[in-house]
Structures are given as structure tokens and as C-alpha cells.
Amino acid sequence: MISFSSFPCSRSSRPARTPRRRHPRTRTRRTLALVGTLCAALTCGAAVNAGAVAGSAPVPGDPANAARTALSAIPDKGRPARGPGMNILLVGLDRRAGLSQETKDRLHVNGQQCDCTDVMMLLHVSAARDRVSVVSIPRDSYVRFAAHRDTGEGVGKVTDGTSRHLGKINSSYAHGGPTLTVRTVEQATGVRVDHYAETDFTGFVDTVDRLNGARVCTNQPLRDKNSGLDLPRGTHILNGMKSLRYVRARHVDPPGDLGRVRRQQSMLAGMLTSLTGDKVAGNPVALLRTAAALRRSVRMDSGLTLGQVARLGRELHGLPARRTEFATVPVSDFDHRVPVWGSALAWDEPRARALFADLREDRPVTANPATGPAPGAKPVAFAPEQVQVRVEGSGEVARRMTQDLRDNGFRVLDAQRGGTAGPRGGRTEVTYDPYWARQAAALSAALPGAVMRPVPSSGKEHQEVFTVRPGAEGTDVADVDFDRSSVEGEPVTGDRLDCDGVASPKR
């Protein structure tokens, strides 16, 4: 996976001129192809309209040069200390410049570009080269920008002096290009960025097509009008255009950025499996074509050399999926309302600090209880206080279930008059309108022994109340905790995200 850093994607990359004995050509080619996988991960989300900030104008100057000097332009004083291993900031831009209207229509990318980052990942390679960790930073994360001087007019901008204003992290690029993006990420995470690479979405379609498609899995139909996604349940091999729609989708279950990031991570895990197989890794021509296509779509800092990439490829060759990790920065508030910027994401600071400390200290990000859910309670992705429940009956079992559900935070309505006095035979049953499937998952977690029975509403409006009918079995109520990050973005190993592992976030 690391080969993504392979940076042969760069315009200046040339075949490595190294002794054959130490740098076999086939291995260098494999390195280039692996680089392509992560490059593709960057491009996959960059076509989404990231929510333009008023007045944000494209960063002036030569984008390639800005990327090359992203790190050299930063004074060393005040930056986080260097740690073991290597950290690469991977950025995907929401940029449509140069695309024809026909191409925009075909790819469903007609939204207004904001010239901001739509995908942001910190990729860490362990010092022992036995582990690769990818931490996705949600684009709407509300952080304080590093000190900078803004120019022009617009939201959050000033015309004189320096500013360290708060804002959504994806807009740091529009305010100061790659250099401010790196400095802001370092300031927010405490992780030293060793290298920088950026791209847009235009190379993604060609990349996937050259790899003969991407394998994805879904346990439910996925449809999103905004991205053009229409995917039946099951396992699919998607071409480039359909893959772009898959990784862009935000209006499917689970909705929003965390669900989209997890789908990106899942596709990346599957592509890595394909790249290391015989059809690609055993075909030098396919690898070279992939590298040639990618080198036109990725810009990187001047410190990333092909020799370094080839060395990493050799050291990481054969790395199993279980030694790759994927995580998303934990979020405590998914609708953090702030002046000027509107709805943003507020990080769960204690868990985010623990996650970045693991990255900084070269530790696995999947083995720390401090980044996981609270002990003793099952995480759910929907707040219990937003779920209306009615327990039928007036007996002791019904009274106990009512109190336990209220203690968990559910909105339990008073029992209807004339209810039965005791439990029915068989298992406890919950009936609900399937329109409220996400709420149903939270209630199901609290009633693990109950049978969940969806019953479509007969009227025009969706019935919001969940009806619980206590039975002789399944009456125990489990403790739950509203923790959407642990449900949709928990740290997992790559084998959990491949089609042969967990195809979608746990519920």
C-alpha cells in the first residue's frame, strides 16, 4: 500500500537508474503500481462538492511548484518533532478546471468547485516497514488554521496582518495552498509530515480501468442521485466511472463523510489485493501503463524520489492485509454549529489525541482501548433520545423493559390503555417502519434478543414509533452508547475491509 508514496506518479519520474542486483526492474514496476493504488484513493473523493466557502479563490501560482515546495517553505522551528517511521500527507482536491461540460455530466461532477481538499489522509509507514497505517481526516473537521496571511475577500479572510482563525480543515488549502495545509494538519494532530502528495479526481477513472476494475461489496442496495450511484446488493467489479460514483456517494447508508471514507478505505483494501495478485503484479506491461497514467495526475514535494519509493516498495513487498490499518479521526459532534462556517465536525479530543499519539510513536492504531468505544456499552450510530419507543403491556416485564430503555436514553412513550398484563409466548418482537432503519439498528443493539420486524406504513407518513411486544424470551436490555465514530469509522485492519472480510461498517 505504501507504494502509493511511490510517487512515480510525478511528472518528473523516470525509470530508476539503480543496480539491477539491488533494485530488480520487476520490483520497481510493482512499486509503481502499488503507488497507483493509493493515488487512486486520493482521487476517489476529490470530485465531491466539498461545500464551497464564500470568497475562496483558487490558490494563485503554479500548482506543481506549490506542491514541490510544500515542505521546504516551512521553517523547522515550531514543527512537531520527527518520530520513527515516515508520515505522508495525501490530499485529493475538489478541482474541475479544464473539464468539459460533457465530462462533468458523465461523471456527475457539476457542483461548484471550492479549490479545497476533499480527501485528506495521513499515511504512516512503520520504522520496521512491517505495518502501514492510514488515518482519514474528515473534510469538515473544525480546527484552528496555522498562522497565515489571507488575501482577497470572503468568509474568514482578512486583508492585513496574520490570522489563526478557526475553520473547516478542507479550506486551509484555499487559504494558503499546500504549505498552509501541511502546517494546519501538523498543528491539529501533532504529527510531523515528512512528505506531501496531492491530486484531483481525473486520473481515478483511468486508474481503475487499467486495473480491470475494482471489487466492492455491499449488503444492501446503494443509490445516490448526487453521485449517480445505483448499485444492487452483492459483490461487484466496477469500472472506473462506477467506482468514482461509489466512492463519492454521501447520501447512502451510512450517510455523510464517515460512511464515504469507509467505502473509500474498503475499495482501497480490495485494490491492494488485486495489485499484489498475479493478474497485475505478474504483468510488467500492466504495471508500467498504470504508472504512466498516474504520473500525470499526482503532484508531490521535492523530497520524494523514485529511489526512495523503490526502496520502500522492496521493503514492503508482500505485506499482508492484516498488517495494514485504516482509521478515521473520532468525532464527538457531527453537527457542530459555528459562526460563518455553519455545520462542522468537532473531534473527540481525548480519543483523537490517543490516535495521533499512536501514529506519532509508531504504534498500531488498532490496539489502543483509548481510541475505542466506552467499556461496558455497545456503540450505536443513532442517538437513543431521538428514537421513540412504546412498550406494550403493563406487567412487571414491561415495566422493567420500559425503565431500562429510558435509562439508556430512549424516548419511551406511555403504554397504550388496554395493553396485555404479561409477556407473550416466544421472543420479544419489535415492529417498526423500515424508513427508520438507522434508528432501528440502535434499538436492536439495546434489545439483542428481540426479533426486529419491519412493517411498511400504510399511510402517506412514516410511523416514527417503535412498538416493543415483550415475549417470554429476549427481554434483557443491553447498555448502549451513542458513538457513531466507533460504528462507522473504528480502526480496523485491511483484511476487515476487503470483500472477504467486513464489507461494510458494523452496526
Q: Where in the chain is the domain with CATH 3.30.70?
A: 380-482
Range with the lowest mean pLDDT among 136-145, 198-207, 396-405, 447-456?
Answer: 198-207
Task: Between 76 and 251, name the one with better pLDDT.
Answer: 76
Q: Give the three cell numbers for residue 212.
A: 480491470
Where do you find CATH 3.40.630.190 in the chain? 2-373+487-497
Mean predicted confidence (pLDDT) in 482-499: 87
Cell of 250: 454521501
Average pLDDT of the residues in 480-486: 93
CB 2 within 8 A of CB 34: yes
Higher-confidence position of 314 and 173? 173
Separation between Cα atoms, residue 19 and residue 329, nearest integer Å: 42
Distances from the Cα of 436 to the Cα of 68, 262, 363, angstroms: 49, 22, 39
Mean pLDDT of 49-74: 63
Question: What is the predicted pLDDT for the residue at 291?
Answer: 54
Task: Tell me how far apart the alpha carbons of residues 27 and 314 are, in angstroms, rounded to a whole number.
Answer: 7
Q: Does residue 478 contact residue 437 with C-beta atoms inside 8 Å?
A: no
The pLDDT of residue 313 is above 50: yes
Backbone angles phi, psi at 102, to 5 degrees: -60, -40
Residue 17 has pLDDT above 50, yes or no: no
SS3 state of residue 332: strand
**pLDDT at res. 89:** 94
| Mean pLDDT on 83-109 | 76
For the residues 428-440, what does the mean pLDDT come to? Answer: 93
Which pLDDT score, from 0 to 100, does residue 267 have? 82
Each residue's pLDDT tens digit, 327-371: 999 999 999 999 989 999 999 999 999 999 999 999 999 989 999
Domain 2-373+487-497 falls in which CATH fold? Aminopeptidase (3.40.630)
CB count within 10 Å of CB 498 equals 22
- pLDDT tens digits, residue range 275-308? 655 554 445 565 555 555 556 667 888 887 666 6
> What Å distances lie between residue 106 and 89, 121, 241, 423, CA to CA?
30, 27, 8, 57
pTM over 0.75: yes
Domain range 380-482, CATH class: alpha beta
Q: Which cell numbers hold the place of 428? A: 420479544
Name which of 388, 446, 448 is nearest 412 in CA terms.
Answer: 388
Confidence at 116, pLDDT banded by 50, 70, 90: confident
pLDDT value of position 253: 74
User: pLDDT by residue (tens digit) across 140-161?
Assistant: 999 999 998 876 554 555 556 7
Whether the Cβ atoms of residue 473 and residue 427 lie closer than 8 Å to each other: yes
* H helices present in 85-239, as ranges: 101-107, 172-189, 202-210
Among 12-16, 67-71, 104-108, 455-459, the range with the most confident prediction by mean pLDDT is: 67-71
Give CA–CA dist 381/295, Å, rounded. 40
> Residue 297: its pLDDT value, please?
66
pLDDT band at 25; cut points 50, 70, 90: very low
SS (H, E, C) 121-158: EEEEECCCCCCEEEEECCCCEEEECCCECCCCCCCCCC
Region 405-416: what's the mean pLDDT? Answer: 92
Cα 387 to Cα 464: distance, rounded to the nearest angstrom: 8
Query: How confident is the model at residue 452, as a pLDDT?
Result: 96
Task: At 244, list the grid cell.
Answer: 468514482
- Across the chain, mean pLDDT equals 78
On the question of pLDDT at 268 being above 50, the answer is yes
182-205: average pLDDT: 88
**What is the sign of the dihedral through the CA atoms of 377, 378, 382 and 387?**
negative
pLDDT band, very low/low/confident/very high, at 21 (cuts 50, 70, 90): very low
CB 360 within 8 A of CB 346: no
* pLDDT of res. 8: 33
**Is the pLDDT score of 3 beyond 50?**
no
